[in-house]
Amino acid sequence: MQNDFEPKIIAFCCNWCSYAGADLAGVSRLQYPTNIRVIRVMCSNMVHPSLVIDALTKGIDGVIMCGCHIGDCHYIEGNKSAEKRANAITLMLEDFGIEGERFRLEWISASEAPKFAQVMREVVDIIKKLGPSSYS
Amino acid sequence: MIQLNINGNKFEFPEGKTLLESIESVGHSVPKLCHHKALLPYGACRLCLVEVHEEGRNTSIQASCSYPALNGLSIFTDTDRVKRARKIVAELLLARCPDSENIRRIAFDLGVGEPRIKKKYDDCVYCGLCVRICEERMGRNSVSFSGRGPGKKVEPPFGKQNEMCWTCGACNFICPVGKKVSDLTSMNVQIPIPNLFNLGLDSKPAIHILYPQAVPNTPMIDKEKCIYLNHEACKICETVCEAKAINYEQKEEKLELNVGAIVLSPGFELFDPKIKPELGYGLFPNVITSLEFERILSASGPFSGHVLRPSDRQPPKRIAFLQCVGSRDFERDYCSSVCCMYATKEALIAKEHVGGNLECDIFFMDIRAHGKGFDEYYQRAINNGVNYIRCRVPAVEEIPYTQNLLIKYLTEDDKKVSREYDLVVLSVGIKPPKSVTDIAEKFGIELNEFNFCKTSIFNPTESSRDGIYVAGPFTEPKDIPETVMQASGAASRVLSLLCDVRGSLITAKEYPPEIDVAGQKPRIGVFVCHCGTNIAGVVNVPDVVEYAKKLPDVVFADNSLYTCSNDTQEIIKEKIKEYKLNRVIVASCTPRTHEPLFRNTIREAGLNPYLFEMANIRDQCSWVHMFEPEKATEKSKDLVRMAAAKARLLEPLQKSSIPVTKAALVIGGGLSGMTSSLALANQGFEVHLVEKEKELGGNLRNIKYLLNGEKPQEELERIVQEVKSSNKINLYTQAEIKSLEGSVGNFKTKIAANGNEKEFEHGVVVVATGAKEYKPKEYLYGQDEYVMTHLELEQRLAADDDWLATDKKRPPKTFVIIQCVGSRDKERPYCSRICCSESIKNALKIKELSPKTNVYILYRDIRTYGFRESYYTKARQQGVMFIRYDEDKKPEVSRNGDGLQVEVFDQTLRIPIEILADFVVLAAGVVPSDGNKSVGQFLKVPLTSDGFFLEAHMKLRPIDFATDGVFLCGLAHSAKAIEESIIQAQAAASRAATILSKDFIELEANISQVIDENCDGCAFCIEPCPFKAITLIEFMRNGSIKKTVEVNESACKGCGGCQATCPKKGIIVRGFKLEQIYAQVNAVLGV
Most A-contacting residue of B208, B1081, B1082, B1087 (CB-CB within 10 A), to test interface = B1081
Of B1055, B751, B16, which is closest to residue A42 (Cα–Cα)?
B1055
| pLDDT at residue B873 is higher than 70 | yes
Of B94, B116, B122, which is closest to residue B106 (Cα–Cα)?
B94
Cα B968 to Cα B949: distance, rounded to the nearest angstrom: 8
Facing B304 at nearest CB: one of A73, A74, A114: A114
Min Cα–Cα distance to chain A from B804, Å = 52
Lowest pLDDT segment from B297-311, B579-593, B682-696 = B297-311
Mean model confidence pLDDT for chain B: 94
Q: Do B616 and A23 touch (CB under 8 A)?
A: yes
What's the rounded mean pLDDT across residues B975-989?
Answer: 98
Of B791, B785, B798, which is closest to residue B845 (Cα–Cα)?
B798
Q: Which of B242-246, B316-320, B536-540 has the highest mean pLDDT?
A: B316-320
Phi, psi angle pair for B502, to nearest 5°: -60, 130
Number of residues assigned to chain A = 136
What's the rounded mean pLDDT across residues B345-371?
Answer: 93
Rg, chain B, Cα only:
36
Q: How confident is the model at residue B326 (pLDDT cuts 50, 70, 90)?
A: very high
What's the rounded mean pLDDT across residues B335-363?
Answer: 94
Cα B628 to Cα A71: distance, rounded to the nearest angstrom: 37
| pLDDT at residue B912 is higher than 80 | yes
What's the rounded mean pLDDT across residues B808-833?
Answer: 91
Q: Do B635 and A34 touch (CB under 8 A)?
A: yes
Q: Do A46 and B1060 touch (CB under 8 A)?
A: yes
| pLDDT at residue B808 is higher than 80 | no
Residue window 6-35, chain A: list those with CB within 8 Å of chain B: 8, 10, 15, 19-20, 22-32, 34
Contact assessment for residue B334 and residue B477, using Cβ atoms and an 8 Å cutoff = yes
Residues B217, B221, B225, B230, Cα dihedral to 10°: 180
| pLDDT at residue B908 is higher than 60 | yes
Facing B626 at nearest CB: one of A29, A38, A54: A29
- Asked if A135 is an interface residue toward chain B (Cβ–Cβ < 8 A), one would say no
- Asked if A67 is an interface residue toward chain B (Cβ–Cβ < 8 A), one would say no
Residue window 933-972, chain B: list those with CB within 8 Å of chain A: 952, 962
Contact assessment for residue B849 and residue B799, using Cβ atoms and an 8 Å cutoff = no
Residue window 633-692, chain B: list those with CB within 8 Å of chain A: 634-635, 638-639, 642
| Residue of chain A minimizing CA distance to B640 | A37
Q: Which residues from chain B sit within 8 angstroms of residue A73, using beta carbons?
A: 1026
Q: Do B638 and A37 touch (CB under 8 A)?
A: yes
Q: Do A54 and B1054 touch (CB under 8 A)?
A: no
- Asked if B356 is an interface residue toward chain A (Cβ–Cβ < 8 A), one would say no
**pLDDT tens readout for residues B279-325:** 999 999 999 999 999 999 987 789 988 999 999 999 999 999 999 99
Residue window 74-113, chain A: list those with CB within 8 Å of chain B: 74-78, 81-82, 85, 109, 111-113
- pLDDT on residue B56: 85
- pLDDT on residue B512: 94
HSE of B799 in the Cβ direction (CA atoms, 13 Å)? 7
Min Cα–Cα distance to chain B from A48, Å = 4
Residue window 43-62, chain A: list those with CB within 8 Å of chain B: 43, 45-51, 54-55, 58-60
- pLDDT on residue A1: 41
Q: How confident is the model at residue B810 (pLDDT cuts 50, 70, 90)?
A: low
3-state secondary structure string, B1023-1067? CCCCCCCEEEEEEEECCEEEEEEEECCCCCCCCCHHHHHCCCCCE
Q: Do B962 and A8 touch (CB under 8 A)?
A: no
Q: Do A42 and B1006 touch (CB under 8 A)?
A: yes
What's the rounded mean pLDDT across residues B1055-1066?
Answer: 94
Cα B559 to Cα B532: distance, rounded to the nearest angstrom: 11
Percent of chain B with pLDDT over 70: 99
- Asked if B377 is an interface residue toward chain A (Cβ–Cβ < 8 A), one would say no
Q: How confident is the model at residue B503 (pLDDT cuts 50, 70, 90)?
A: confident
- pLDDT on residue B927: 97
Contacts of A122 (CB under 8 A, 6+ apart): none
Helix (H, G, I), strand (E, B) or coil at B433: coil
Kind of pairing between the strands at B269-270 and B892-896: unpaired
**pLDDT tens readout for residues A83-100:** 999 999 999 999 999 999
The b-or-e profile of B493-507 (16+ CB within 10 A means b, else e) is bbbbbeeeeeeeeee
Cα B554 to Cα B581: distance, rounded to the nearest angstrom: 9
- pLDDT on residue B682: 96
Contacts of B491 (CB under 8 A, 6+ apart): B263, B987, B990
Q: Which residues from chain B sit within 8 angstroms of residue A51, using beta carbons?
A: 1074, 1077-1078, 1081
Q: Is B269 exposed, middle or buried (0-12, 13-18, 19+ CB in 10 A)?
A: middle
Q: Do B619 and A31 touch (CB under 8 A)?
A: no
List, in sequence order, the alpha helices (H) in B730-789: none
Whether pTM exceeds 0.80: yes
The sign of the CA dihedral B532, B535, B541, B547 is: negative
Facing B619 at nearest CB: one of A23, A36, A50: A23
Q: What is the DSSP string of B884-925?
A: E-BTTB--EEEEETTEEEEEEEETTTTEEEEEEESEEEEEE-
- pLDDT on residue B26: 80
Q: Do B1055 and A74 touch (CB under 8 A)?
A: yes
Most B-contacting residue of A81, A107, A119 (CB-CB within 10 A), to test interface = A81
Contacts of B108 (CB under 8 A, 6+ apart): none
Q: Which residues from chain A sit within 8 angstroms of residue B620, using beta carbons?
A: 22, 26, 36, 38
What's the rounded mean pLDDT across residues B190-216?
Answer: 88
Contact assessment for residue B165 and residue B156, using Cβ atoms and an 8 Å cutoff = yes
Strands lying side by side in the sheet with B404-410: B396-399, B404-410, B416-421
| Residue of chain A minimizing CA distance to B1023 | A81
DSSP character at residue B453:
B
Facing A76 at nearest CB: one of B304, B1026, B1084: B1026
Q: How confident is the model at residue B739 (pLDDT cuts 50, 70, 90)?
A: very high
Min Cα–Cα distance to chain A from B1022, Å = 12
Q: Which residues from chain A sit within 8 angstroms of residue B1059, using beta carbons?
A: 46, 48
User: Which residues is B742 bridged to in the sheet?
Assistant: B747
| Residue of chain A minimizing CA distance to B590 | A23
Contact assessment for residue B666 and residue B677, using Cβ atoms and an 8 Å cutoff = yes
Amino acid identity of residue A62, one-letter, is G
Rg, chain A, Cα only:
14
- Asked if B316 is an interface residue toward chain A (Cβ–Cβ < 8 A), one would say no
**pLDDT tens readout for residues A24-69:** 899 888 999 999 999 999 999 999 999 999 999 999 999 999 999 9
Amino acid identity of residue B348, one-letter, is L
Lowest pLDDT segment from B254-268, B808-822, B1000-1014 = B808-822
Give all domains of chain A, ordered by start, each with its CATH number: 7-130 (3.40.50.960)
**pLDDT tens readout for residues B57-101:** 889 999 999 999 999 999 999 899 999 999 999 999 999 999 999
